[in-house]
Amino acid sequence: RLLIIDFGSQVTQLIARRLRELNVYCEIHPFQKVTEEFLAEFSPKAVIFSGGPASVIDASSPRPPTSVFDLGIPILGICYGQQVMMQMLGGKVERGHGTAEFGRAFVTPEESDLLLLKGWFDSGREQVWMSHGDHVSEIAPGFKVFGTSPNAPYAITADTARNFYAVQFHPEVHHTPNGSKLYENFVRMAGFTGDWTMGAYKDEAIRKIREQVGDKKVICGLSGGVDSSVAAVLIHEAIGDQLTCVFVDHGLLRQGEAEEVVTMFRDHYNMPLIHADEQDLFLGELDGQFDPETKRKIIGRLFIDVFQKHAAEVGGAKFLAQGTLYPDVIESVSFSGGPSVTIKSHHNVGGLPEKMGLKLVEPLRELFKDEVRALGLELGLPDSFIGRHPFPGPGLAIRCPGEITREKLEILRKADAVFIDQIRKHGLYDEIWQAFVAILPVRTVGVMGDGRTYDFACALRAVTSVDGMTADYYPFSHEFLGETATRIINEVQGINRVTYDITSKPPGTIEWE
Ligand code: XMP
């Protein structure tokens, strides 16, 4: 296995992801934990030093134990990791003075024949992503330069005799398009064949959950979404009935959703499940509210109250399980460190663990969405379930602009079901990132048969996206749109007009509120 020593970079997890993509098993451990004893015990086949925010010029900045250089294994230092390596092996690092570099740069080769660079520089230069204030001003004895950029004369250096490699840029990020190639070359040199699988990840995750939880009880909020479902099934596989799931039905779910979740988890998976039917409470408090943020806050607050009440029924639980993914962990911290503004206050259970005196179990914290899906398949969750579009915590409330009434929710559920049915029938479901109907707070006049109608208008929304941060409307054919509009108007009483929302994000958001 490969050890990544984390010096605090915001993109350390991306290194792990790149290695998992190469089917190499790795673990990330914070530098504080990596002592000489730890290294001896872990016995890595290769080590990567991550980047980090500190400056090696500060005497108190983080270091790996010197013994790491005596293990006789390949080491790759990235950004701060490169500087630490140079400093510890006898080179020099200086503070920026005009040499700080952030963003895109192009590296060109200095010497050829470095295994790490096999397949690189085929086009003469490579685009890389730089993000550093300090820079190496003198390389350590034994090192040679293999690549430079205008602002980084030591962009790629190596001591080939000892198998130490150091790069100033971040090969793990998207903006270093061929970065994976470097990792691939590095792990091949270290003797990894790439035979590690998601099945092995599952076994390891189960082992860790057992170790963390022991014989204590765990509660888990199950939303029916992919993340919480995969987390629940994984934890159930690890500790069986020590886990109880709480499924809160706030009355804002889609057609048939509550039954589907309860049947699947209680009947199929035999998991202890509390089905908290709290529709009256939520819809009661939402009555008369039309402001989007107020609605979200009411739902968020009630959700915590209700979850807490039902979780208490379990008695003696010591852990709260959450399906937090890696992007959730970094979501608010952008890579460039720029400020982020709250556009919508996402409803989550932040603060709940402290309030209830529970420790967190977050077995998906290292994974990205597509990896969670792969893990879900590994756990035997059905394909159709794993591939479901995301559904927001506040549910249909944010697809019902203006006042929420039971009548409107009922109409919305039916229209949404027809739309999704159409999308599935036309084989488009997997091409679309998210699709739904919003019911608009207007009634319009229509004519059906010989009579006048005065019913609600609705909007169809379907987008393509990678992560929900940006999105494009889906280019349905006119034929599809026409057919869908006809079906909705014919099959759903209460709607007499259908529109298609062709706004991208930005400037729009995906949801209507
Ligand atoms: P927006 O509307 O912000 O949505 O473009 C981006 C993605 O986030 C989902 N979303 C939410 N999810 N609580 C959630 O759990 C929320 O309050 C919330 N608001 C939006 C939305 O469905 C889309 O996938």
Tokens of 163: 């198998």
pLDDT given for residue 97 in this prediction: 64
| φ, ψ for residue 147, nearest 5 deg | -160, 145
Report the separation in Å between the CA atom of 451 and the middle of ligand 1, taken as the mean of its atom positions: 39
Residue among 172, 278, 371, 511 flagged as catalytic: 172
224 is in an annotated binding site: yes
ipTM over cut 0.95: yes
Alpha helices, DSSP H, located in 98-225: 179-189, 198-213
Specify whether 21 is catalytic: no
Q: Which atom of ligand 1 approaches the CA of 390 most closely?
A: 24
- Which of 369, 511, 512, 513 for a ligand 1 pocket mutation test, highest count of atoms within 8 Å of Cβ? 511
Q: Is 228 labeled as ligand-binding?
A: yes
Question: Element (H or E) spanning 146, and its range?
Answer: strand 144-149
Per the annotation, the verdict on 36 as an active-site residue is: no
- State the Cα–Cα distance between residues 446 and 427, nearest whole angstrom: 31
Closest C-alpha residue for ligand 1 atom 22:
392
Please report the atom of ligand 1 found closest to the CA of residue 393.
15
Residue 491 annotated to the active site:
no
Written as tens digits, the pLDDT of the chain (513 aa) is: 999 999 998 889 899 999 999 999 898 999 999 999 999 999 999 999 999 999 999 989 999 999 999 999 999 999 999 999 999 999 999 987 666 778 889 999 997 789 999 999 988 899 999 988 888 999 999 999 999 998 889 999 999 999 999 999 999 998 899 999 999 999 999 999 999 899 999 999 999 999 999 999 999 999 989 999 999 999 999 999 999 999 999 999 999 999 999 999 998 999 999 999 999 999 999 999 999 999 999 999 999 999 999 989 998 999 999 998 877 765 433 333 333 344 555 545 556 778 888 999 999 988 888 899 999 999 999 998 899 999 999 999 999 999 999 999 999 999 999 999 999 999 999 999 999 999 999 999 999 888 999 999 999 999 999 878 889 999 999 999 999 999 999 999 999 999 999 999 989 999 999
Nearest-CA residue for atom 6 of ligand 1:
468
Residue owning tokens 């409107």: 408
Q: Which residues contact residue 473 at a Cβ distance below 8 angstroms, ignoring those fewer than 6 apart?
A: 461, 462, 463, 500, 501, 502, 503, 504
Q: Give every CB contact of residue 83 below 8 A, 6+ residues apart in sequence.
A: 56, 77, 93, 132, 134, 135, 136
Task: Output the pTM of the full model.
Answer: 0.79
CATH topology of domain 406-500: GMP Synthetase; Chain A, domain 3 (3.30.300)
Question: Ligand 1 pocket: which residues have CB below 6 Å?
Answer: 296, 344, 346-347, 390, 392-394, 434, 468, 505, 509-511
Structural domain boundaries in the chain: 2-189, 198-386, 406-500
From the candidates 170, 236, 310, 347, give the one annotated as an active-site residue.
170
Enumerate the H helices of 151-291 as residue ranges.
Answer: 179-189, 198-213, 226-239, 257-262, 279-286
* Local structure of 104: helix, strand or coil: strand
225 annotated to bind ligand: yes
Burial class (CB in 10 A: 0-12, 13-18, 19+), 273: buried
CATH topology for the 2-189 domain = Rossmann fold (3.40.50)
Nearest atom in ligand 1 to the alpha carbon of residue 465 is 24
The answer to whether 149 is a known ligand-binding residue is: no
Nearest CA to ligand 1 atom 21: 392
Domain pair 198-386 / 406-500, same fold = no
Domain 198-386 carries which CATH code?
Answer: 3.40.50.620
What pLDDT is recorded for position 350?
Answer: 58
Residue 315 known to bind ligand: no
Pocket test residue of 253, 322, 347, 510 for ligand 1, highest count of atoms within 8 A of CB: 510
Cβ atoms within 10 Å of 232's Cβ, excluding its own: 27
Instruction: Give the ligand 1 atom nearest the CA of 391.
Output: 22
Amino acid at 202: K
Centre of ligand 1 to C-alpha 392, Å, is 5
Cis peptide before 64 (omega within 30 of 0): no
